[in-house]
Structure 1
Amino acid sequence: MNFFKSHFWYHKSQRNGIFFLVICIIIVQSVIVFGDFSSEDTADLHATEVLAFHHQIDSLQAIEIENRKPKIYPFNPNYITDYKGEQLGMALDEIDRLLVFRKTNKFVNSNKEFQKVTKVSDSLLNKISPYFKFPDWVVRKKQSSNTSWKDSKQPHYKKKVASTTDINKATAEDFKTISGIGEAFSERIIKYRTKLQGFSFNNQLNEVWGLEKEITDKVLAVFKIIDKPIIKKTNVNTATFKELLKNPYIDYQLCKNIFEYRDEVAELQNISELKNIRDFPLDKYDRIVLYLVAE
């Protein structure tokens, strides 16, 4: 008994202190358990200031997305590459159709022709066509075809007559007598004729850059090859690489193939042996041999 009495017996002031401490603990626990600490000042997500802030953030995000988009500058659609076509949203088969068309040495000169060749959808054409930039002569041609009816009342001048019908002797002024042939085209025909040393085949006129078949037909209806040109031929067995490249129908790769074949056989006995060369363009054989001889 003395043991328990020594631990639980306190004098009056100690008992009052313990009782007060217990009361304080109960009060604190009650406040914690039953007290409401939530704030009445809740944020209104629909407040004008909040909505304005969100709108500003959305605007900045839209500007950032727009800035990240690749910029499109005016370009000639005839020279679209795989990478450029993919950027514009074209499918691979649409790009391939354009590349195959261009390999024929032809050009698209209007939005309608571009769609006809590539078969792109109307929506994609409307999206990318504002960036198309065709050569100046194409633009001038369209403008001349869209002249008003008042132009028809202008006085008509006497049609000029060509001084010759020989296409290899015709001057720039002679070619201008053909409807659709102006200063640029007439000079371009003469420049290409000089490069060829004269036209040997009528369809060589189709090789003039930018000249449409409709125009070449008009030219050939008036001008013919009366006297075939005398072309200076190059000996394929002794020609240098640079001399062989002067042939208007031989590019770098074909020139390289010819030299490799010449090294294999030592010497071509007949010019027709060119047909044995790997990847030789047989469709151009008759033109290539105009400038070559095997001696």
Structure 2
Amino acid sequence: MKNIKSHFEIHSRFRNGIFLLSIVLLLSVFGYYFYPKPTTLEQSFVELTEFQNQVDSLKLVTSLEKKVYQPKPFNPNFISDHKGYQLGLSTQQLDRLFAYREKNKWINSVSDFKNVTKVSDSLLALISPLFKFPEWKKNEVTYKQYARRKYPIKTYAQKEDLNRVTAQQLQEKVNVPDFIAERIIRYRNKLGGFVGDIQLKDVSGLYDHQRKKMLSLFTVKTPKQIKKVNINTASVNELIEVPYFTFETVLEIKDYIKKNGSISSFKELEKIDGFSLEKIDRIALYLTLN
């Protein structure tokens, strides 16, 4: 009986193998629970989608940057510095245009634009097809004919005094907007009363046809009493009282007379640097030459 061995008895060599196998299995179990899990398919798809969106955005930005600037039709009266740069206009040409517009004058045709800016024919040929003028300008002839027909005809005696008319009367009889009527009255008060009908030209925003209709109903019957001054002998203080002269303008006039002698014609004032004859008909209301 002592020679019979238990069937559970394991040789030492097998025991070592089982021990090593147990260690490997234990390490595998720990590795399964503690080793970082790989990214799932769903997460990979989300990341891929975000990356593709970034690529598409970069492609869109690149395509927009490659787009060539396509000029659109525009009114040449409202060209800005940036717009002029895009069109290829020089700073001198833009300055001429801005100076012209500051006088409340308008570009009404391609020839007007060329005469004002002195732009070259080659550049004008490129940009003039883009000029867009208002519809009323295209029908200007019809508009003017209609305007002439609606002006009432009155004698001097039938007309009312422009220096006594109220803003309300201007709105009702001439059909001008309330702010224009108020502007006329404010300008009249600033002058101390109109000296002549021609001074209505100085009211900003008053259209030519409105002014003509107004003068068909009103005229200056009680003009402001002024004493005209001799432009050649007047002092600086006397000339500065003329509504259309600035201090700098007066100094230029005095300097011109000192260098060239007496002014014999109001047209001579055009020779003075920076002086415009646009308002000479109103200036002449306050001045004499001898």
Query: TM-score normalized by structure 1?
Result: 0.47
Q: Which has the higher contact order (CA 8 A, sep 6+)?
A: 2
Query: TM-score normalized by structure 2?
Result: 0.48
